[in-house]
Amino acid sequence: MEKSKNHVEVETRGQFLSFSQIRRWPEFGVILAFLVLLTIFSIFSSNFLTLRNITGILTIVSELGIVAIGVAFLMIAGEFDLSVSSVYAFSGFLFVTLANKYNSPLAFIITLAIAAFIGFCNGIITLRARIPSFIATLGMMLFLRGSLLAVTGGESVSYSSDAIMPTLLTRFIGYGFRPSHIWFLALTLIFSIILTNTRYGNWVFATGGNREVARAMGVNTNKVKVTNFMLSALMASLSGCIVISRFNLANASFGTGMELEAIASAVIGGTFLTGGYGTIIGVFFGAFLMGMMRTGLVMIGAPAYWYQTFVGAILIIAATINLKLRHLEM
């Protein structure tokens, strides 16, 4: 009697698990969407699957994707960073200014250090003032952007320094490929390994999944959060330096709205808005999907305005699917 009852329990659980197994491949949905869009665009535009177009997409995707990886890594730890777009523009400006005065490697290092400090401030403000990071970083976003506009008066600054960092970051290396593509791929791999294969990654999941449990189990959740805020700012800063090196020009309005594109990439890639779950590979494809849509829609003849419409629709669908799967899981 007892035995048969156990058996039934296992059986019902078996059915339940089929959803659970999909859930543990959260890249599944985004890769599927990626392939569908790729097919559609390739059919409707003969120029879509050309090396030139692919590398062009990759350039945009890399710059967005690097920011999105940082944002997602922090989101998994349970916090938002809306200030990335401002950090991105601020870093670009600082990099150009410092490089014109000194040299580009020094400018790059100082820029990253200051960005890390901004991330540190985001973390400390969120944790000490106990306000939601959404608000704390929204404040930081407006504060930085406003300062930048005020100081520069909206004027652009041209890059007129050595070629060291631009070469390392974004100058063509053949067949349309750029170092930024390699940076993006490498950072995807590194962050993916950190998240799934290190102790720190386990603490990030736990901090976002249930902060109280994580703390009770001896995880220093504040340290994890501050570290991730810093990483998020660092990634945004790196991306800012890349984009400025590509344009040879810094403008205070660069990257406006990018924070939402980064969050959208993360959510489309399967990251939970509520924290505790997500994958970097998913974010990689999420960012790719965004970049592909931007180019693809233009290439199949749709006006560029439709880009946001499609991103909005896909974002809602992705978030809904995430939530449904989560409820099945619970």
Partner 1 sequence: MQEVTSLAKMVDIEKNFRAVQALKKVNLEIQPGEILGLLGDNGAGKSTLIKVLAGVFPPDGGKIFFEGEQVSFSSPKVARAMGIETVHQALSLVDIMSISRNFFLGREPTRRIGPIHLLDKKKMNEECEKTVTGLGVRVRSPNEFVSILSGGERQAISIGRAMHFKVKLLILDEPLAALSVRETREVLRQVEKARESGVSVIFITHNVYHVYPVAERFVMLDRGIKIGEVYKKDASPEDIIEIIATGKMSKTLKT
Q: Which residues bind partner 1 (CB under 8 A)?
A: 6, 9-10, 13-14, 16-17, 20, 23-24, 193, 197-199, 201-203, 205-206, 209-210, 212-220, 272, 276-277, 326, 329-330
Nearer to partner 1, 75 or 243 (CB): 75
Residue 298, C-beta contacts closer than 8 angstroms, at least 6 positions apart: 304
Least distance to partner 1 from the beta carbon of 321, Å? 16
Nearer to partner 1, 130 or 199 (CB): 199
Least distance to partner 1 from the beta carbon of 219, Å? 5
Task: Decide: 128 and 74 in contact? Cβ < 8 Å.
Answer: no
Least distance to partner 1 from the beta carbon of 231, Å? 18
Residue 16, C-beta contacts closer than 8 angstroms, at least 6 positions apart: 328
Cα angle: 190, vertex 55, 92; to 5 degrees: 65
Nearer to partner 1, 213 or 313 (CB): 213
* 3-state secondary structure string across 175-199: CCECHHHHHHHHHHHHHHHHHHHCH
Least distance to partner 1 from the beta carbon of 214, Å? 7
Least distance to partner 1 from the beta carbon of 129, Å? 18
Nearer to partner 1, 1 or 330 (CB): 330
Which residue's entry shows tokens 């499609």? 310
Least distance to partner 1 from the beta carbon of 134, Å? 20
Least distance to partner 1 from the beta carbon of 181, Å? 24
Burial class of residue 82 in the structure, from the number of CB atoms within 10 Å of its CB (0-12 exposed, 13-18 middle, 19+ buried): buried
Residue 81's φ and ψ, nearest 5 degrees, are: -135, 100
Distance separating alpha carbons of residues 111 and 213, to the nearest angstrom: 36
Nearer to partner 1, 276 or 286 (CB): 276
The pair of three-digit structure tokens given for residue 206, joined into one six-digit string? 């736990």
Nearer to partner 1, 205 or 284 (CB): 205
What do you get for the CA distance between the two ends of the chain, in Å? 28
Task: Decide: 48 and 42 in contact? Cβ < 8 Å.
Answer: yes
Nearer to partner 1, 14 or 174 (CB): 14
- Taking alpha carbons only, the member of 52, 36, 34, 32 closest to residue 299 is 52
Radius of gyration of the chain (CA): 21
